[in-house]
Amino acid sequence: MAKDFLSLADYTRDEISAMLDLAADLKVRMNSGVPDHPLAGKTLAMIFEKPSLRTRVTFEVGMFQLGGAAIRLAPDQIQLGTREPVADCARNLERWVDGIMARTFAHATVEELARNGSIPVINGLTDKFHPCQILADLLTIRERFEAIDGVKLSFVGDGNNVVNSWLNAAALFNMDFALACPAGYEPDADVVEHSKCEATGSILITHDVEEAVSGANVVYTDVWTSMGQEAESERRRKDFDGYTVTQQVMSLAAPGAVAMHCLPAHRGEEISAEVIDGPQSIVFDQAENRLHAQKGILGSLLGSEV
């Protein structure tokens, strides 16, 4: 298994499945109410260049529940890459803590942390990938449909970091993936090519929402303007007109389809309030499973006998 958790593409299907199994087991063990501290004495440094609710809380709570501790390092505290080089930060942290979780803009930053440190580095989100979110989503889908293989997931919106990580997941599992996005908002071309080469299911990139969503078991969306793109928000609202996940869009999906969103959501933009708050929504199940998925990652990378 890879030392670091930077991208799902660094792992095999069996390794990700084992991580999901551990996450599910830790969820059961937590709900049993029996104290369970396999990471007692372990410490995680959490580096943030971006705001965070789910990532911050779930990693900190996850470490606490597993018996360890987490330290939040805000942008103004360490000024990563400015006050001192990223490599030097990694070389310092490896002397004090057992792992690093970093939520950064550039993906190269987490790669540099991993390259220069001997301890595991977890990608809490970069502009290129969001593997922690997809692990939680895979856990949620497996709970809902009792399997990942055979599921069709359709994403409506921007070909962003979440889409790139979904393409990585589609390359590992026998699932169909379709993206409907406006022209010019397609995902990373190299990630698409890798997914198409490795996937056993179908991979579709289209500008047609109906084509993408037809027969989907899961309809997924995300904000149109990600962190760091705020100056583009007005143009993006115009470009994404017609790409809102509404009840009408959900009606194009397969019977029993569910709606997913990685949050935070802008109701009325990428998803209607009727859908996100409706009976087909499993959005907050996803959010809950961020905790259990993070614990699966932490246990796999930091634990010797979880």
Active site residue 103: yes
* Interior angle at CA 55, CA 131 and CA 38, nearest 5: 85
Task: Tell me which of 54, 65, 98, 130 is the catalytic residue.
Answer: 130
Q: Which of 98, 127, 137, 222 is catalytic?
A: 222
Q: Which of 65, 133, 286, 294 is catalytic?
A: 133
Backbone CA torsion sign across 219, 4, 111, 51:
positive
**Active-site residue, 262 included:** yes
> Cα Rg for the chain, rounded, in angstroms?
19
89 is catalytic: no
Q: Which of 132, 290, 292, 294 is catalytic?
A: 290
Catalytic residue among 54, 103, 261, 292: 103
Distance CA 243, CA 177 (A): 17
130 is catalytic: yes
- Name 4's bridge partners: none
115 is catalytic: no
The 3 state secondary structure assigned to 194-238 is HHHHHCCCCEEEECCHHHHHCCCCEEEECCCCCCCCHHHHHHHHH
> In a 3-state reduction of DSSP, which class is residue 84?
strand
Residues known to be catalytic: 103, 130, 133, 222, 262, 290
